[in-house]
Amino acid sequence: MSTSEVERGVGEILIEEDRLQERIRELGREVSEDYEGRELLLVGVLKGAVFFMADLMRSLAVPCEIDFMAISSYGAATDSSGVVRILKDLDINIEGRHVLVVEDIIDSGLTLSYLLRNLESREPASLEICALLTKPERREIEVPVRYVGFEIPNRFVIGYGLDFAERYRNLPYVGVLHPDLMPEGA
């Protein structure tokens, strides 16, 4: 099989497409059981969570809506500074709603920690987090994550929504960025 232009950015595949999709179906079943009899609002964090959210939502058996937020953390391409700015806020008022924040990856935890405090102040009926990936070694601040897809080692990953300088989101699997492309000091 020939290597596509996109795949040349991949050092190795960390989570194959099949495993990814199987785990997302499991998460969907778990979330559906936990929220039985309730209506769910999925809040996706743009842009990385879009792919995960689309698949997760299709495996949910409870009535649900979606909305999105865009936040930017000022910082280098592969690092999070913890200073967060809202670029796009929710369209929906979440007061009294059951909110599940959907994230691609939790690294330091700083972004989500800020987001949680912000959303909490809007008085949702409940507020939980579902993250596809987490890098526990990198955590600087504890975030209460209810659902996790995979714990991964401290590597910079791309694919299935995750980018390096906005590229590689279209890979159907999660891979490690090729060492030749990794910026100095990252």
Q: Among all residues, which ones are annotated catalytic?
A: 107
| CA–CA–CA angle 122, 123, 128 (5° rounding) | 100
DSSP H helical ranges for the chain: 17-34, 50-58, 110-120
Asked whether position 134 contacts ligand IMP by CB under 6 A, the answer is: no
User: Torsions phi, psi of 75, nearest 5?
Assistant: 165, -175
Exposed / middle / buried, residue 56 (Cβ in 10 Å: 0-12, 13-18, 19+): buried
105 binds ligand IMP (CB under 6 A): yes
From the list ligand IMP, Mg ion, none, which binds 107 (C-beta under 5 to 8 Å, kind-based)?
A: ligand IMP
Which of residues 28 and 175 has its CB atom nearest to ligand IMP in the complex? 175
The answer to the question of residue 108 lying near ligand IMP (CB under 6 A) is yes
Q: Quickly count: other Cβ atoms within 10 Å of residue 157's Cβ.
A: 24
Least Cβ distance, residue 70 to Mg ion (angstroms)? 10
| Contact status: 128 vs ligand IMP (CB under 6 A) | no
Is residue 44 a contact residue for Mg ion (CB under 5 A)? no
CA distance readout (Å), 120 to 53, 73, 84: 21, 20, 16
Stretch that binds ligand IMP, among 9-17, 56-64, 87-95, 97-105 (CB under 6 A): 97-105
Among the listed residues 9, 48, 124, 159, the single contact to Mg ion using CB under 5 A: 48
Give the residue with the Cβ less far from ligand IMP, 55 or 107: 107
Contact between 11 and 175 (Cβ < 8 Å): yes
Q: Which of 27, 23, 57, 54 is nearest to 40 (CA)?
A: 57
Among 111, 124, 132, 149, binds ligand IMP (CB under 6 A): 111
- Footprint of Mg ion on this chain (CB under 5 A)? 48
Name the residues that contact ligand IMP, by CB under 6 A: 48, 73, 80, 103-112, 156-157, 162-163
